[in-house]
Amino acid sequence: CPTPADLRPANGTRVCAMLYADNSPYYDQCCAGEVLVVLPDSDVPYMPRGWSNRVSSLVVGTRCELTVWSRKAKKGKSRRFNT
């Protein structure tokens, strides 16, 4: 997985989090497959089509916080991830 400080695409745009679809019991292979990029100040009450119940790994960038909910539209239990 990339380190939180590495979350910058080639063009230098800041990325707050990257969510990955594939999982593995081996740490060096767990951040694989399709990637959902979360930009700073994003507010997404619904997961994009095809991403519901799919995220297996995530990395949150430095000075960022990612809050996720167990149900759509920001309902249910929430959990915060940050570095």
Q: Is residue 9 part of a domain?
A: no
What whole-number distance in Å separates Cα of residue 19 and Cα of residue 31? Answer: 8
Q: In this predicted structure, what is the pLDDT of residue 76?
A: 93
Q: Is residue 53 part of a domain?
A: yes
What pTM value is reported for the model?
Answer: 0.81
Q: In this predicted structure, what is the pLDDT of residue 26?
A: 75
Within the chain, strands assigned E span: 17-22, 32-38, 57-60, 65-71, 75-82
How crowded is residue 7: how many other Cβ atoms within 10 Å of its Cβ? 21
**What tens digit of pLDDT does each residue of 14-55 get?**
889 999 988 777 777 788 889 999 998 899 888 888 888 888
Q: Please compute the mean of the pLDDT values over residues 4-13 and round it to a whole number.
A: 77
Q: Which domain holds residue 49?
A: 17-82
**How many domains does the structure of the chain reveal?**
1
Q: Please compute the mean of the pLDDT values over residues 61-68 and round it to a whole number.
A: 91
